[in-house]
Amino acid sequence: MFRLLLLLLIIAGVGAYFTKPDRATMEEGARASVQQARDAAASAFDIGGVLNLSAADFTHDGTYEDYYVLSKYTVNLAGHPVMQCWGAYKQVRCGPPVTGQAKSS
């Protein structure tokens, strides 16, 4: 049973290594997510959000990080993260960056 589990983990790891998204795919996913977030901010009349996301989309400033079995792409605006994307198995998922942990009382 343990060998079967180990074999499945190895197969999943090898599959993840060969199917992680490259930089161009991550940039495309991040650009689409920034545009969706900008449209949502515009429909909510959030002028600051629209300006920040428009500036981030205009500058195309981002960092790509490779973690062997997955990849990470962060869209930056003036050194601060605006959108963070994770990719594995040819899939890209983006969302607002997690900057810190919530304090519990």
How does pLDDT run across 68-93, given as a tens digit for each residue?
899 999 988 877 888 899 999 999 99
Supply angle C-alpha 24, 99, 90, rounded to 5: 25
How do 91-95 and 62-66 pair as beta strands?
unpaired
Sheet holding 80-88, edge to edge: 62-66, 71-77, 80-88, 91-95
Task: Specify the pTM.
Answer: 0.78
Predicted pLDDT of residue 80? 82
pLDDT score, position 100: 64
pLDDT band at 37, cuts 50/70/90? confident
Q: How far apart are CA 3 and CA 44, in angstroms?
A: 53
pLDDT at 104: 54
Q: Is the pLDDT of residue 102 over 60?
A: no
